Amino acid sequence: MGVENLIYPLFVVDGQNHKSEVKSLPGQFRYSLDNLLIEVEECMNLGVKCFDLFPAVDESLKDQYGTYSYSDQNFYLRYIKEVKSRFPEAVIMTDVALDPYSSDGHDGIVKDGKILNDETLEVLAKMSVAQANAGADIIGPSDMMDGRVEYIRDELDDNGHTDVSIMSYTAKYASAFYGPFRDALDSAPKFGDKKSYQMDPANKKEALVEAELDYIEGADYMMVKPALCYLDVIHMLKEEFPIPIAAYNVSGEYAMLKAAAQMGWLEYDRAMPEMLLSIKRAGADVILTYFAKEYAQMVAQANV
């Protein structure tokens, strides 16, 4: 697995001189800008050049419509701008969904206990344009609302961002493996679950339907998430579609290997590259993984 094909997810918070470890993700932190820049520089020196930034937003800034996501005051947009100006050759991917900004903790706008698809699209598009204005290279809609790739593509193009790519979370399953991520961002749903918009783990064919739509709507990359329990889906999309396939090696997959390694139950240095290799073998061209930096360090020490 080439280091250049890895995307490193990083959590960011507003403030200064802040670097706090996420309890359920040992080795992963929430960074304020100063520490983020240090982390990005270290990674770039190891050959990891693509970063997916996720904001942990203060509860007081959240509302039902996620308006902070495109506000001029949003620290996340400021951070994107700063990283791009310090490291123009870094590739910055963003997350587009309401959950970090929503007082309901859902990916879309909620009314009477239901997710409103079309109303959500407008917010997602505003958020995407704001991120592209800040310098984002790849927009990552992770919300699974219907029709969002086309809607976001049109808005990006209308605002002069034809060169900004979309990596669509095409087959995003309603998985138990996102738990630690929601701890990192404090973004767990306040009620219910995400099963009305995320996919049923038992369903493979629906991934093809979603992929066909994303492809027609103009996605530049299609992502399968999580990775390990869904290697068959990665393989299927790779066989069927002529665009790059990405896989998200999610927080729970990282946490379980880290925990077993800490207990001395698994040989970390062998199990970790084997995990990444399996995802690549299944057909992923790009892997989003919390292992990115450590893997790059191993490669640099010629341990892989």
Give the DSSP H or E segment for 172: strand 165-172
x/- letters, 192..221, toward ligand PBG (CB under 6 A): --x---------------------------
Instruction: Please state, in angstroms and rounded to a whole number, the distance separating the CA atoms of residues 153 and 177.
Output: 29
Q: How many CB atoms are closer than 10 A to CB 6?
A: 23
Of 99 and 210, which has the nearer Cβ to ligand PBG? 99
Instruction: Please state, in angstroms and rounded to a whole number, the distance separating the CA atoms of residues 293 and 304.
Output: 14
Q: Which of 277, 267, 284 is nearest to 299 (CA)?
A: 277
Q: How far is the CB of 4 from ligand PBG (least distance, A)?
A: 21
x/- letters, 128..167, toward ligand PBG (CB under 6 A): --------------x-------------------------
Among 19, 182, 235, 280, binds ligand PBG (CB under 6 A): 182
Instruction: Please state, in angstroms and rounded to a whole number, the distance separating the CA atoms of residues 20 and 22.
Output: 6
Of 28 and 264, which has the nearer Cβ to ligand PBG? 28
Query: Mind giving me the DSSP string for 199-228?
Result: BPTT-SHHHHHHHHHHHHHT-SEEEEESSG
| 21 three-class SS | strand
Q: Residue 161 corresponds to which tokens in the numbers above?
A: 């961002």
Catalytic (active site) residue 19: no
The answer to whether 201 and 145 have CB atoms below 8 angstroms apart is no
When asked if residue 26 is in the footprint of ligand PBG (CB under 6 A), the reply is no
268: amino acid identity, one letter: Y
Among 29, 76, 79, 178, binds ligand PBG (CB under 6 A): 178
Catalytic (active site) residue 172: yes
| 75 three-class SS | helix
Among 99, 104, 137, 210, binds ligand PBG (CB under 6 A): 99
Among 48, 61, 92, 97, binds ligand PBG (CB under 6 A): 97
Out of 49, 62, 225, 258, which one is annotated catalytic? 225
The residues that touch ligand PBG, with contacts defined as CB under 6 A, are 95, 97, 99, 107, 142, 178, 181-182, 194, 250-251
**Annotated active-site positions, please?**
172, 225
